[in-house]
Chain A
Amino acid sequence: MNADLGLWAVPIAVLGGMLRVSTPFLFVSLGECVTEKSGRINLGLEGTLVFGAMAGYGGSYLTGNPWAGVLLAGIAGTLFGLLHAALCSLPRVNDIAVGIALMILGSGLAFFFGKPLIQPAAPMLPGLSLGAWSNVPQLRSALEVSPLFLIGVAVAVILLFVFKRTRIGLILRMVGDSADAARAMGYPIVPVRIAATAFGGFMAGVAGAYLSLYYPGSWNEHISSGQGLIAVALVIFARWNPLACLGAALIFGGAGALGPALQSVGVTSGYYLFYAAPYVLTLLILFLTSSPRRALEGAPRELSITK
């Protein structure tokens, strides 16, 4: 029997929503964070995510192993990342524009090859129960998380360490902050950016696999509602700090759960406005934290969008 929680249901639903809905945002934003640190922006991760969702579902269905699906999605994502990186390495080719193009191409290819995968049921990724200690079933269910979420949290911490304490992080930041300085120090700019973009693609591919293989756990043409695009916005919102990306993803996921949760406790009108809450919130925080005079704190200076 479920306990009747009354209004407590809302915070619990938001908590559950944070843990369930945030993972794709987390993966895409962490990947994009690395890409942007190197001085490139890849708006095409939305397409990569959709393709990853399709590839992950297909991989799981064909091999019977959902983790093989995740890997396949990651590989597909890496290829899209490499494509973006390679095209942007040509002189005069704009990274934002290539991103938009790859968004169309990625979604198009995913829908094209994904038609036969809509009907079959693929094996899903297992979840971990972190709430076994609680006797409130709603809380137990909210704390049912995917291992991918925990991996994402770990990656956030590792990235923070890499950025701050390691040579790789130093090179990455230097390439992103000043190509001239990096060149003078003898660091290979183009290869670093290619690697950083490929990593971003890998993460977005995995994010897609999370959508199709864990939550909501299905492949269809509406599986993404712009998670890949919003995650790119979240990176700016998070000021290129991996831990802040985690925070931003959690806030965005939680805000997304607010609408249904409020309706379930009887706040039933104006749900379109509640559904828009995450976007309003993001815009508001961007507004409050920016300034026309100084460059964005922590922004890679080679990044086209902050120039």
Chain B
Amino acid sequence: MLPMNRRRFLATTAALSAAPLFGRPAFAASLTAGFVYVGPRDDYGYNQSHAEGAAAIKDMEGLTIVEEENVAESDAAVKTMESMIQLDGAGLIFPTSFGYYNPFVVDTAKSYEDVQFRHCGGLWTDEDPKNAGSYFGYIGTAQYICGIIAGHMTKTKRLGFVAAKPIPQVLLNINAYTLGAKSVDPEITTQVIFTGDWAMPVKEAEAVNALVDQGADVLTCHVDSPKVFVQTAAGRGAYVTGYHTSQAKLSPEKYLTGAEWHWATVYKMFAEKALAGEELPNFVRGGLAEDFVKISDYGPAVTEEAKKQADAVKAEVMKGGFAVIKGPLKDNKGNEVVAAGTKYPETAIELESMDYLVEGVIGSTS
């Protein structure tokens, strides 16, 4: 444990010496919060949703925000966090990309016990450091509602989904979207194309074209930056539902709705607690009811019938306990994945390790 002590000692001295050198006033009840993004802050997508959350708390009394973008999911992330602690005096760090968690956030948290780390997307457990934690939003339920809208709007009964990789978060979105559409009409299928990485504009555009060629007329995506996706799909005359943030202004006519993050809720909660000297929760999750995620305003094309059903389901979700994934449910290979009578509400931890695509999805998980 010697290195840890030495490092902590260094941390304190560096934090103390940083302040006078750069003329930052050191408030007693002040806090510096560091945000680490994996991509550019203004990507119309995932990173932007976090940067908007950070911007929402920027003016809080006593709070200083430091941000760094394009930080790779490697020891570069460790060094960025350490640099925020040592050189900026950060006391609360938000590493916002899933791949940062293990081992990078966990290890850094062990070395800096008096700094709080709250990571987006990870699964914090009791065995992880107490000064670490994770938060995430139940966006699958929002995708379910978008799927209902899509189900009403499709004429070909084929939906398209452009996704990066078949990981649990993505599979849950695909499944929820499909189940939402199937609740409107069980005949509807969703075709998935995986592009293999989080930001591949040309492949995303090609995937949209291939899906539209196959007859898909409502599309959505799970990639980091949906801008190209939305523009290409709308250009082909298809309807789109958005993801991460609202892409409505890219195509007001074709944009039906979207599943958006609303991280401001989470960041405000953490910052307020930290400034007040309260303990920060380690495991934070929330959905539509908790205002962690939201649904984009409906576009002009959305029919009254679609709105009515979507709003009704949303009202149901707001009451709590609503389950998108419930038995009997088969995967698209015909195996039963959820037995009749079993329900997984959005809070169910099982959903965070999903490894199947439900019946009605055309695509495979590997």
**Chain A, 74-107, CB within 8 A of any chain B CB:** none
Q: In the complex, what distance in Å separates the CA atom of A131 from the CA atom of B195?
A: 28
Asked whether, in the complex, the Cβ of A216 is within 8 Å of the Cβ of B232, the reply is yes
Separation of A260 and B228 alpha carbons in the complex (Å): 16
Report yes or no: A268 in contact with B206, Cβ–Cβ below 8 A: no
Stretch from A8-16, A57-65, A179-187 at the B interface: A8-16
A141-B236, A220-B43, A264-B193 known; A275+B203 contact, CB < 8 A: yes
A292 within 8 A of B: no
Asked if A169 is at the interface (CB within 8 A of a chain B CB), the reply is no
Q: Is the CB of A17 within 8 A of B206?
A: yes
Identify which of B2-10, B102-110, B174-182, B209-217 touches chain A.
Answer: B209-217
Contact assessment for B232 and A217 in the assembled complex, using a CB-CB cutoff below 8 Å: yes
The reply to whether A218 and B228 contact each other, CB–CB distance below 8 Å, is yes
A275 to B231, Cβ gap below 8 A? no
Rounded to whole angstroms, the CA-CA distance of A119 and B249 in the bound complex is 11
Residues B231 and A2 in contact, CB atoms below 8 Å apart? no
With an 8 A cutoff between CB atoms, is B363 at the interface? Answer: yes
* Besides the known contacts A119-B42, A215-B205, A216-B204, 9 further A-B residue pairs in the complex with CB atoms under 8 A apart: A1-B155, A9-B214, A216-B202, A216-B231, A261-B206, A263-B192, A264-B214, A268-B362, A268-B363
Q: Please, which residues of chain B bring their CB within 8 A of the CB of A215?
A: 202, 205
Q: Which of A12, A218, A221, A266 has the most CB of B within 10 A?
A: A218
The 0/1 profile, CB within 8 Å of A marked 1, for residues 120-156 of chain B is 0000000000000000000000000000000000011
- Closest A residue to B199 using CB positions: A222
A306 in the interface (beta carbon within 8 A): no
B40 to chain A, nearest CB (A): 6
Within the complex, the shortest CB–CB distance from A125 to chain B, in Å, comes to: 12
Interface residues of B in 316-366 (CB under 8 A from A): 362-364, 366
Closest B residue, CB atoms, query A215: B205
Asked whether any CB of chain A lies closer than 8 Å to the CB of B200, the reply is: yes
Tell me whether A2 and B42 are in contact in the complex, defined as CB-CB below 8 angstroms, given that A256-B206, A260-B207, A264-B210 are known contacts.
no
Query: Which interface class (under 10, 10 to 19, 20 to 34, 35 or more) fits B?
Result: 35 or more
- Is A2's CB under 8 angstroms from B156's CB? yes
Nearest-Cβ distance from residue B345 to partner chain A, whole angstroms: 30
Of the candidates B39, B156, B212, the one whose C-beta lies within 8 Å of that of A141 is B212
Could you pull out 10 A-B pairs where Cβ atoms are within 8 angstroms?
Answer: A9-B213, A20-B209, A121-B250, A220-B43, A222-B200, A225-B201, A256-B206, A260-B193, A264-B214, A268-B192
Nearest CB of A to B255, in Å: 13
Binding site for B on A (CB under 8 A): 1-2, 4-5, 9, 12-13, 16-17, 20-21, 115, 118-119, 121, 138, 141-142, 211, 215-218, 220-223, 225, 256-257, 259-261, 263-266, 268-269, 271-272, 275
Which residues of the partner chain B approach A222 to less than 8 Å between Cβ atoms? 199-201, 225
**CB of B164 to closest CB in A, whole Å:** 11
Is B86 engaged at the interface, CB distance under 8 Å to the other chain? no
Query: Contacts A118-B42, A216-B204 known; A264 to B211 CB distance under 8 Å?
Result: yes
Q: Mark B151-169, 1 if CB is under 8 A from A, else 0.
A: 0000110000000000000
Question: Do residues B225 and A220 form an inter-chain contact, with CB atoms below 8 A?
Answer: yes
From the candidates A115, A216, A275, name the one contacting B196 in the complex (CB within 8 A): A275
Q: Which residue of B lies closest to A275 (CB)?
A: B196
Asked if B206 contacts A257 (CB within 8 A), the reply is: yes
> Within residues 249 to 265 of chain B, which ones have a CB less than 8 A from any CB in chain A?
249-250
B307 within 8 A of partner (CB): no
B227 in contact (CB, < 8 A):
yes
Question: Which B residues are CB-close (under 8 A) to A12?
Answer: 213
**CB pair B213 A115 closer than 8 Å:** no
Q: A138-B213, A218-B227, A271-B196 are in contact. Are A260 and B364 (CB under 8 A)?
A: no
Contacts of B43 in A (CB 8 A): 118, 220
- In-complex Cβ contact of A21 among B42, B70, B206, B215 (8 A): B206
Within 8 Å by CB of B231, from A5, A115, A217, A223, lies: A217
The interface residues of chain B lying within 8 Å CB-to-CB of A217 are 205, 228, 231-232, 235
Q: Taking the complex as formed, is B239 at the interface, i.e. its CB lies under 8 A from any CB of chain A?
A: no
Cα distance A14–B32 in the bound complex, in angstroms: 52
* Ranked 6 nearest A-B pairs via Cβ: A216-B205, A264-B210, A268-B364, A222-B199, A260-B210, A138-B213
Contacts of B156 in A (CB 8 A): 1-2
Tell me whether B194 is interfacial, beta carbon within 8 Å.
Answer: yes
Q: Contact at B212–A2, with CB atoms within 8 Å?
A: yes
A271 touches B42 (CB 8 A): no
